[in-house]
Structure 1
Amino acid sequence: MVKELIKNEKARALIKKAVEEGIITYEEINEELGDDFPAENIEQLINEMLEQGIKIVDEEQLDELGEDELKGKNSEEDYTDNEEHDDLLEDETDEKLDTDEENEETETFTEFDDEFNPEYIEDVSEDELSNEKLLNLGNSAKVDEPIKMYLREIGQVPLLTHDEEIEYAKKAYEGDEEASKKLIESNLRLVVSIAKKHTNKGLKLLDLIQEGNIGLMKAVEKFEYTKGYKFSTYATWWIRQAITRAIADQGRTIRIPVHMIETINKIKKESRIYLQETGKDASPEILAERLGMEVDKIKAIQEMNQEPISLETPVGSEEDSELGDFVEDQKTTSPYEATNRAILREELDAVLKTLSPREEKVLRYRYGLDDSSPKTLEEVGKIFNVTRERIRQIEVKALRKLRHPSRKKKLEDFKVD
């Protein structure tokens, strides 16, 4: 499965970046690979990175890490053979590699000197999972009562020691449902800790927790205790993936496809970078140049990213008006046009009365003057029990009469679009 990832251009670029910097974010992994590969493939890639000491963190945590940490604690010692990895990634552009070359490249990627060190991974600290943190969140005025009850309940479940975690993970791996349940319950605080970082993105905290719990259960199902690292480190990616996918699918009134959301995030990220570099907002033309996209596409994506707003939104300091009161209905007939049409109908009725009764009825049927439903020559012919040709002759004669200056003058001042 890792071979499939290495052969993909975006995956190669991601691997190269992770190898060179010794650090990568969960968001980058999801954005670059989330749509192109099944979760199992990405999971194995993450396992390889974790085992080889590559730090995987939240995008938000990058700002908190120092320059040395961003480069990786052992970046100079552990990745001295980066040139070898660069050659690997560049050589992969040849699509006609044989099996031996593919195996060699896969082995090259996994050849790191150091073993996996759990302390090297940016993990959720025990302080974040403490009862005090849960109580502080539960006491927030923004948290509903059901969430407060839930937080009090999971706060009573003790955290597992590393030895207990391994013991339960081993039993869960062998199919023990009680052990799986214990692993899940003891890590519910982890879900809350991650979920609260994704609020204000379209989903309520309780929904985020629910989705994160689904990711946690998936992590228990997939966890391999023989790897030797903490379960919480492994579960973090599954929880984040479940939450971010739920936000993408459910967080908007009008759903936007996941691949388009990733493009939107890239544009937002590039806009922030440009703002930090220049102190100015990036125009669509600048973003198009920096991202290698068309200007029209950038504009279309930015327009798509606008949030819907209710027509009932209060407007004004006293909130006595609604937004809908100020939005013009393009399909509504204006008072001027309505009056113009009413006068035209009166004049048209008066002119039609100057024709013979049969001519008047034929024109009314043919042009739908009474019911706005014009009829064909054949349909009108059946009404009068004559041929369609006879109806055509009557219509031509009636229109010729209407073109007479005495009648035409009464209607020529009216123009209807």
Structure 2
Amino acid sequence: MKTMSEKKKNGKKPEVASGISMVSKEKFESAKAELVKLVDGIQGGERLVELVDAGYKKGKLSSGEMMEVLESMNLESEQMDKMYDIMENLGVDAAGEEDLMPILSEEDLLPPAEEMEDFNEEELVDPNTLVDSFAIDDPVRMYLKEIGKVDLLSPDQEIELAKAMAAGNLAKEQKAELEKTGEELPAEVLQELNKSIKAGERAKQKLAEANLRLVVSIAKRYVGRGMLFLDLIQEGNLGLIKAVEKFDYTKGYKFSTYATWWIRQAITRAIADQARTIRIPVHMVETINKVIRVNRQLLQELGHDPTPEETAAEMNMPVEKVREILKIAQEPVSLETPIGEEEDSHLGDFIPDEDASEPSEAASFTLLKEQLVDVLSTLTPREEKVLKLRFGIEDGRTRTLEEVGKEFNVTRERIRQIEAKALRKLRHPSRSKKLKDFLS
């Protein structure tokens, strides 16, 4: 089997002519109507329908082309099951097709360089050294060592395991039905059912373990999006387990073809839910990724970072929408982020507080407050409190005449009179001279 590295060098993706050209016009229109109904309102749905139309006209459509579009769509598990039925009705046949995501060789099992800085790649050339070449304290390498021990499955072996799984599921259902009747099961029947159930569970485990390399190959593509490599693998493994549970070999798809979507969906949803401090919806994550891809393309073509206007023109999107997407795409940064080689300073130390007042102004305000309290203390207690409430001197919140009146159980007119009298007293030279210097 060719490694992923060799396939990349060849620069070709496996593609198989599908049976869509053999589908009658009536059957195609029926399947297309189901597809339109299924993807209605889902981002990427129109693109998928257009792809199917184009494939029917050409008489050729591979499941690989459809899977590339499906990857960007936010489909639930039930919707994806219906999608596979529709693909079958459309004549998109994956039987005999090479894996959409090639199974990794030992060389390709290596995680990204930033997580394997001190690792010697030459040690992985021989599968025998793969088992003994990892440091015990490195969880990534320990995991890769374990999955490297598991042999890959042939298509025939996959079908055998799938049949055992189906038999086990059927045995579970039969046992549950028999137990509902309340009758005591014959020992031979119970033994046979339990045997089938256990065989089905072993088959599920073997199918999952044999495809752990597929998860690693997909997880590597999502490194650098806010989650650790091992976390990506873990989420992908959860998707793999779902694929094992739902796999139906009778539809003609290879397991890796079917599992690829489940693994990608599990990883992309985990990134959307966990990678950012502030969660971004899945559909917005896909939109952000599209904008980033267009920006990279324009950077190569124009030779400079594209402006929002240039990006908007390329994507046929309003400029304000592009600006909004770019703003959402910005990652939050902690104010405690260490700065400098010695990391003795933090980012927050270098960010000015625009709301902070000048030291001289702060000192002047403190003196004014002291003088104001001193002047107000020369009034009667009631007058002092009325002015403090009316002008928010104590807590910064000004009160209306009515609010102050309720405080003293008097009318708002009476409060107005008390306030006017207190202000006249403050204007007296004996008191106003203490505050006069602050007016300038």
Structure 1 distance, partners of 2:233, 2:49, is 33
State whether residues 14 and 29 of structure 1, in contact with CA within 8 Å, keep that contact through their aligned partners in structure 2.
no
Deviations 1:291-345 (A, max 9, x none): 2222122112101111121212222344332111011234444423321211212
2-side partners of 1:256 and 1:339: how far apart? 45
User: What aligned pairs does 1:14-29 form with structure 2 within 5 A after superposition?
Assistant: 14-16=51-53, 22=61, 24=65, 26-29=67-70
Is residue 2:294 matched to residue 1:270? yes
1:415 is displaced (CA, Å) by 6.4
Q: How does 1:13-52 map to 2 (within 5 A)?
A: 13-16=50-53, 22=61, 24=65, 26-31=67-72, 33-34=73-74, 37-45=75-83
Range that drifts further, 237-246 or 355-364? 355-364
Task: Verify: 1:393 aligned to 2:393, yes or no.
Answer: no
Contact 1:168 / 1:180 at 8 angstroms: preserved in 2?
yes
* Counterpart residue number, 1:165: 158
Equivalence map 1:159-308=2 (5 Å) = 159-174=152-167, 175=169, 176-308=200-332
Deviation per CA, 1:50-81: give whole Å up to 9, x if none.
x7xxxxxxxxxxxxxxxxxxxxxxxxxxxxxx
Change in Cα spacing, 1:311 to 1:25, as seen in structure 2 (3 Å) is farther
The within-5 A match list for 1:317-396 is 317-352=341-376, 355-356=379-380, 358-370=382-394, 372=396, 389-396=413-420
| Higher mean C-alpha displacement, 193-202 vs 11-20 | 11-20
Aligned-partner Cα distance in 2 for 1:267–1:135: 30
Matches within 5 A, 1:60-139: 110=90, 116=94, 118-119=96-97, 122-125=100-103, 128-130=104-106, 133-134=108-109
Per-residue CA deviation, residues 326-382 of structure 1 (Å, 9 max, x unaligned), is 112344444233212112123323443554565334423543434556566577668
Aligned pair in 2 of structure 1 residues 142, 251: CA closer, same or farther (>3 Å)?
farther
| Corresponding letter in the other structure for 1:341 | F
- Counterpart-to-counterpart distance in 1, 2:230 and 2:216: 9
Q: Tell me, in whole angstroms, the C-alpha distance in 1 between the residues paired with 2:353 and 2:253.
A: 62
Cα 1:129–1:227, aligned 2, differ >3 Å: closer, same or farther? farther
Distance 1:265 1:393 in 2: 66
Aligned to 1:154: 147
Contact 2:94 2:254 in 1 (8 A): no
For structure 1, list consecutive stretches of 5 or more residues without a partner in the other structure.
Answer: 52-106
Paired residue for 2:138, among 141, 145, 162?
Answer: 145
Amino acid at match of 2:33: K
User: 1:276 Cα deviation (Å)?
Assistant: 3.0
Matched residue SS, 2:202: helix
Aligned to 1:11: 48
Q: CA separation of 1:404/1:292 partners in 2, compared to 1, >3 Å: closer, same or farther?
A: farther
Cα distance between partner residues in 1 of 2:389 and 2:305: 61
Say which is worse superposed, 383-392 or 206-215, in terms of deviation.
Answer: 383-392
Instruction: Identify the structure with bigger relative contact order (alpha carbons < 8 Å, sequence gap 6+).
Output: 2
Aligned residue in 2 for 1:63: none
Q: Bigger shift: 287-296 or 254-263?
A: 287-296
Name the counterpart of 1:98.
none
Displacement after TM superposition at 1:255 (Å): 0.9
* Deviation at residue 120 of structure 1 after TM alignment: 5.1
| Cα separation, 2, equivalents of 1:15 and 1:203 | 34
Q: 1:203 touches 1:247 (CA, 8 Å); kept in 2?
A: yes
**1:380–1:309: structure 2 CA closer, same or farther, 3 Å change rule?**
closer
Q: Note closer, same or farther for the CA distance 1:191–1:177 as it changes in structure 2 (3 Å cut).
A: same
Give structure 2 stretches of 5+ with no counterpart: 1-30, 41-45, 120-136, 170-199
- SS across alignment from 1:312: coil
Q: Cα offset for 1:157? A: 2.4
- For structure 1, which segment, 4-13 or 171-180, has the greater mean C-alpha deviation from structure 2 after superposition? 4-13
Distance (Å, rounded) in 2 between the aligned partners of 1:252 and 1:204: 12
Determine the structure 2 residue equivalent to 1:86.
none
The CA distance in 1 between the partners of 2:36 and 2:286, in whole Å, is: 21
3-state secondary structure, aligned to 2:365: helix
Q: Which amino acid aligns with 2:161?
A: Y
Deviations 1:68-97 (A, max 9, x none): xxxxxxxxxxxxxxxxxxxxxxxxxxxxxx
Q: Measure the CA separation in 1 of the matches of 2:407 and 2:245.
A: 75
Task: Count how many residue pairs are aligned between Structure 1 and Structure 2.
Answer: 350
Q: Letter of the 1:140 partner, please give it.
A: M
Cα contact 2:48–2:66 (8 A) shared by 1: no
More displaced stretch, 20-29 vs 241-250: 20-29
Q: Which amino acid in the other structure matches residue 146 of structure 1?
A: P
Alpha-carbon deviations, 1:197-231, whole Å to 9, x = none? 32221111221111111111111122221233421
Q: How much is the aligned-residue C-alpha RMSD, in angstroms?
A: 3.6
Segment drifting more, 333-342 vs 378-387: 378-387
Q: TM-score, normalised by structure 1?
A: 0.71
Normalised by the length of structure 2, the TM-score is 0.68
Alpha-carbon distance in 1 for matches of 2:280, 2:233:
22
1:367–1:374: 8 Å Cα contact kept in structure 2?
yes
